[in-house]
Amino acid sequence: MILGGAMRAPGSEDAVVIEKGKKAGEPHVITVNCPDRTGLGCDICRIVLDFGLYIKKGDVTTDGVWCYIVLWVVPHYDSLILRWSHDLKTQLLSVCPSCPTYFLLNLMSPSPTPTSVYLLNFFCLDRTGLLHDVTQVLTELELSIQSVKVTTTPDERVLDLFFITDNLDLLHTKKRQDETLVQFRSVLGESCISCELKLAGPEYEYHQKIPSLSPEVAEELFMMSEQLTDEEDNRAQALSDDMIKMKKNSSVTVDNSLSPSHTLLQIRCADHRGLLYDVLRTLKDFNVKISYGRFLPRTQGHRDIERFVQVKDEKKILDPDKQSSLCLRLKAEMLHPLRVIITNRGPDTELVVANPVELSGKGRPRVFYDVTLSLKVLGICVFSAEIRRYTAGNREWEVYRFLLDENCLFQLGSASVRNEIANQVRRTLMGW
């Protein structure tokens, strides 16, 4: 049985169909009709999130061989430049198995060649919001940030190193390189002293090594999930009002009584940008396969998600330990998919943001974009910034570290001011 229409020819362009809304404000409809595989929904939602789109509702159906996914989406950012017909469709097609033999071919084929990493470095005069303006250009050019090293000199100049990959895989061409440099020189303006783009060398591996986090910072940053899932934890009083509200209105339940071959997962929680991605990312990491599911429209700020799922060998989730582990992880990711704290780094004030990395090695999209946007709106300059990977609690994390410039409107030494800044950054990341 083929769900959602006739089976498409292998490699067919109509595996992904994007229908734009007919009126302003009307959702656009993305339909994916292709062979199924575990984690396909997660990969699709990650691309949708990376394009700055918000999923209003969604449906997924599969018979284990063929998958049919429909998402109703709207732009999340008012100023977002939508790269619709070709770019979004191309990215979605890239994660769709082209035919049923996809699985066999993947087992037989050698490991794919790693995507080339390029180094974009520039030297210019500093100004408020510069880091975000540069990040916005990267986003519009579909260049993904892999690592960053930002340094401010005493004479208010900045040396920025961006290690990037090209979603279009065209950065090896002179035309694409010239286009990128023109865009960057344009946003830097007369403040640009030098700007260079080249293939990254050994310095990329060197910059992957993150400076050690202090044990106190690491505990606060990576133990937040346990704090949020333990109802008796006395640290809950330290949570922001947003987090307390989310915690009180969130639930994950497992029901094995409604289907002879599937487990029903019922999730209710406060809405946030990337929620469906966070749920599907967790299911993918647990190797849980979705057979049918609905992502219902938001009601009074909350979302209801229903998923009929199976584990390997098309079985229910019957093991109580696995049920408990999955529910705890889902609730932690719903409540706190991103960790945000402000702490001291020597005499300086440091903003630290962390998000878990998928087992596939992919990080969360647009984090650097949202953090720099929030700091720009607050009028806070960044003295230095870094993106690195960090391992804690048997999980890999993407860690963003920003040393904040003390010359701003805020008294950064004040605990209440730090909480205000952290909450503002968190709200921007969550799309509130």
Residue 106 burial by Cβ neighbours in a 10 Å radius (0-12, 13-18, 19+): exposed
Q: Smallest Cα–Cα separation from 337: which of 46, 3, 20?
A: 46
Of 276, 327, 323, which is closest to residue 297 (Cα–Cα)? 276
256 alpha carbon, distance to own chain's centre: 31
Domains assigned to the chain: 9-102 (3.30.70.260), 118-204 (3.30.70.260), 211-249+338-431 (3.30.70.260), 252-332 (3.30.70.260)
Element (H, E) at 396: strand 395-404
What's the pLDDT at 283? Answer: 92
- With tokens 């049985």, the residue in question is 1
**HSE value, Cβ hemisphere, 13 Å, CA-based, for 53:** 24
pLDDT value for 6:
41
What is the model's pTM?
0.83
b or e along 213-241 (b: 16 or more beta carbons within 10 Å of the residue's beta carbon)? beeebbebbbebbebbbeeeeeeeeebee
Distance between first and last Cα of the chain: 41
Helices (H) and strands (E) counted in the chain, each on its own, are 13, 16
Q: Coil, strand, or helix at residue 215?
A: helix
Which bin fits 431, alpha (ψ -120 to 50), beta or left (φ > 0)? Answer: left
The one-letter amino acid at 12: S
Q: Which two tokens stand for residue 82?
A: 């939508």
pLDDT per position as a tens digit, 239-292: 456 556 666 678 899 999 999 989 999 999 888 889 999 999 999 999 998 999
Q: How large is the C-alpha radius of gyration of the chain?
A: 22
pLDDT value at residue 247: 62
Q: Which residue has the tokens 């292709």?
A: 34
Name which of 387, 280, 322, 237 is nearest 49 in CA terms. 280
Q: What is the model's pLDDT at position 428?
A: 92
Burial of 194 (0-12, 13-18, 19+ CB in 10 A): exposed
- The stretches in the chain having pLDDT less than 70 are 1-13, 77-86, 99-114, 207-211, 224-248
Cα distances from 325 to residues 210, 331, 341, 411, in angstroms, run: 29, 10, 26, 42
In degrees and rounded to multiples of 5, residue 14 shows phi and psi of -85, 15
